[in-house]
Structure 1
């Protein structure tokens, strides 16, 4: 018997090359933006004090967030704001550093480095979250939640006048001072 040739099977169709997914626009930064009303806060401070945005109405406020007392970058930033404090005072501006450290930790930090700026203790994390600076961070391949170094300049009526995110410490206090002169 003669063999009949089997019909050739069609070669499988090659899949069309996948198109790259369109890039998503960068999500807007969390937290208040320039022109927004600044989130209210009331925090215990070093020295057993308390400070709130409501009591500072009518004054420009520099609210700078830093990760941890007595670490190198945070210490330098606090020293730089302390060095510029007299110039902020001439503008009627109040400078407040905020971290999640306790008021007792702030007391030790201020004494050790002779700091002159107020330090707010946000142990509950409500203020760092309302300003959008409690973020996921990464170090040596490990991810964790922490404070993004950021500064908010709040004008005399309680609106955000300027925002600095992912702050590099060198020259930052001077940049904030320059911006505060216009508020």
Structure 2
């Protein structure tokens, strides 16, 4: 059975974006980007909300056409374009199929579990609001938190109150050369 994997950058004080939605504090260098690429290549699909999808679609479809882009960025552009994507949105046109994308209106736990039962690699989930909805239904199997050595003091928390408690067990830590620390956890009940 494949897993649903949340992979997000977060500040030391738990924010995934600043108070004005800024992400300029993220520290993604070539080493970290290569790591993201290797993890992404092994996936079978990306699950995102509309905001995350539009953010990604605004840059990655043509990022490899800029000769000034670093090699890991050019590589990820191809990975992103080719990867099947499910976008959960109540406002996007259901016929929106650019870049191997399917639009779904609601998170239906039975449908997500059926996706997990299909063969293939894991499914990456992106976007804090969608992740909160998946957490509410206990659908996330693994958490990869990339803790950036910065204290923002304010912003949007990665884990808003969902009323759900999720017990986790640590499975990996890794410190990258730029100071970002990967904290990897699995649900304690995950088999």
Q: TM-score range by the shorter chain?
A: under 0.3
Structure 1-normalised TM-score?
0.25
Higher RCO (CA 8 Å, separation ≥ 6 residues)? 2
The structure having more radius of gyration, on CA atoms, is: 1
Structure 2-normalised TM-score?
0.24
